[in-house]
Amino acid sequence: MKVLKEEKDRLTASKNAQYETYQTARTEQRELQTVLTNVQQMLGIKSEHTTAQERDKGIT
């Protein structure tokens, strides 16, 4: 049981570290998406993402 508890603790610590990395990457991705959207608006470019959303909603 002691070995299993140690393995569980090790895996939990690893999971928590990986989750922190994921959160950091997710935050950075959101910031970059915001910058991309702002640049596209300034240049008058419609993003494909927005176009796909409009198609899903039935907006032309």
Query: Does the reported pTM lie above 0.75?
Result: no
H and E: helices and strands count for the chain: 2, 0
- pLDDT, tens digit (0-9, with 9 covering 90-100), for 2-59: 999 999 999 999 999 999 999 999 999 999 999 999 999 999 988 766 556 666 666 5
pLDDT digits (tens, 9 = 90+) for 47-60: 766 556 666 666 54
Contact 42, 36 (CB under 8 A): no
* Total number of residues shown for the chain: 60
Q: How far apart are the first and last CA of the chain?
A: 62
Q: Are 55 and 48 in contact (CB under 8 A)?
A: no
